[in-house]
């Protein structure tokens, strides 16, 4: 099952609002506000890589008050 961590930069002062919106997306398994270069870290799981791409591109990146994202695909070790 493809998974990724998505790092999100939100508009200043809207981190909590963006976090609530991200947590409403069914494929988001965890999401937290963090300190540092990024404002939010979310773990996303999907059935296929195409579905994962769609979730990030069309559901997370297009949320109001999201400024940018960085997606890190999880590599499953053996």
DSSP 55: I
Is the pLDDT at 66 greater than 80? The verdict is: yes
Is the pLDDT at 55 greater than 70? The verdict is: yes
Is the pLDDT at 78 greater than 80? The verdict is: no
What average pLDDT does range 53-72 have in this prediction? 97
Calculated CA dihedral for residues 18, 65, 52, 37, nearest 10 degrees: -80
pTM of the entire predicted model: 0.93
- Tell me the pLDDT band of 76, cut-offs 50, 70 and 90: confident
Structural domain boundaries of the chain? 1-41+66-78
1-41+66-78 carries CATH number 3.40.50.300? no
Is the pLDDT at 77 greater than 80? The verdict is: no
């Amino acid at each position: 099952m493809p998974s990724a961590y998505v790092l999100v930069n939100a508009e200043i002062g809207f981190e909590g609002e963006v976090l609530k919106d991200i947590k409403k997306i069914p494929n988001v398994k965890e999401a937290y506000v963090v300190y540092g270069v990024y404002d939010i870290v979310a773990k996303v799981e999907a059935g296929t890589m195409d579905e994962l791409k769609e979730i990030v591109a069309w559901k997370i990146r297009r949320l109001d008050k999201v400024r940018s994202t960085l997606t890190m695909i999880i590599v499953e070790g053996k």
